[in-house]
Amino acid sequence: MTLIDTDPRQPTRVILEQGGTWGRWGTRIAWTVAGFSLLAALGSIGAFSQYFQRDGKVVEKYHSLSKTASAKVAIVSLTGAIMGGDGFTRAQLDHVAEDESVKAIVLRVDSPGGTVSGSDELHYRLTKLAKDRALPVVVSMGGIAASGGYYVAMANGGRDDVIFAEPATLTGSIGVIIPHFDVSRLLKKYDVRDDSISSGPLKEMLSVTKDRDPALAEKERKILQSLVDDMFARFKEIVQAGRPKLDAAAVDKVATGQIFTARQAKDAGLVDRIGFLEDAVTRAVELAGLTESTARAVKYTKPKGLLDEVLGGDAVPGSRVSLEAFAELTAPRAWYLCSWWPAIVAAK
């Protein structure tokens, strides 16, 4: 540092000088190291891009097998009642569709079923994804995989030895139901009358409050039965496509709405093996042409917010019931559902 004193009436100027040759080389070395660090970071991002999240709706987590393998077996969960085809299961399928490192899918089903349309859409999405990407699909059934849950499980490509049920699994319940309740007599008891205005008498089909004459009631029942029969026929077609070893007569024999234990289902040809999730993963690895050392099994969860972390789960689930949700639940629907009451909880 050099002090330059000129005129005492002027401010003193201070000039800072670099400390010799080492100061210049030190600066160059620092910039060189920073440049190499940046290149290394960019290279790591490219090399390990398959480990980074792509979708804010889905969080990928390691499940089993090799932690360092790039090829993945994706465990897609179908949990709870199926209300539509755009829930978390759909988000998982969309995530898999964008992840080229996924080489096989294990569909983990723990569902009593749900709406006809929701079950059919998930079946379609999974079938299309598996076909477009040539991905083998193996099914692992949890506590219950009934009705619509079994329907979606049929998106397995019709392969042999791909449906696993745990020893305590309940499955089957192949059938369709349109719930209907009639409280018109109860309303009449309290002198209450449904005076709705509609464009025609059939517009009020399935109304729980409308008092019908016997002829109209019979006409409505025949129409609704034809709808159920048509959807039931499609259900059986889906089962036969997913279980090609069962002929039409064999499918008719099990398509009675009955629930089966894992052992009964295996004897009836509805499942292939009694085993757990690990067994299904092993089979998926085999079908994908991988090994336990070259495959990484991953599963998906919903991302949690700060409040979820503090409370240790979903923040106040089901605390709000909107008018839109109420209208959705009270709308007439057909169900592939193992229940005596229509589902009121969306798939998780």
Please identify every residue annotated as catalytic. 147, 203
Q: Which of 160, 151, 169 is nearest to 85 (CA)?
A: 151
Query: Which three-class secondary structure string do you get for 122-147?
Result: HHHHHHHHHHHHCCCEEEEEEEEEEC
- φ and ψ at residue 172, rounded to 5 degrees: 95, -125
Residue spans of beta strands (DSSP E) within the chain? 2-4, 13-15, 59-65, 71-79, 102-111, 113-115, 137-146, 163-165, 170-172, 259-261, 273-274, 295-301, 335-337
Q: How far is the C-alpha of 160 from the C-alpha of 269, rounded, in Å?
A: 11
C-alpha atoms less than 13 angstroms from C-alpha of 172 in its C-beta half-sphere: 23
By the 8 A CB rule, do 164 and 108 touch? no
How far CA 148 is from CA of 111, 120, 212, 213, 290, in Å, comes to 8, 8, 32, 34, 31
DSSP state of 11: P
Write out the H or E segment, with its range, that includes residue 1.
Answer: none
Tokens of 213: 């004459």
Task: Find residue 337's DSSP bridge partners.
Answer: 113
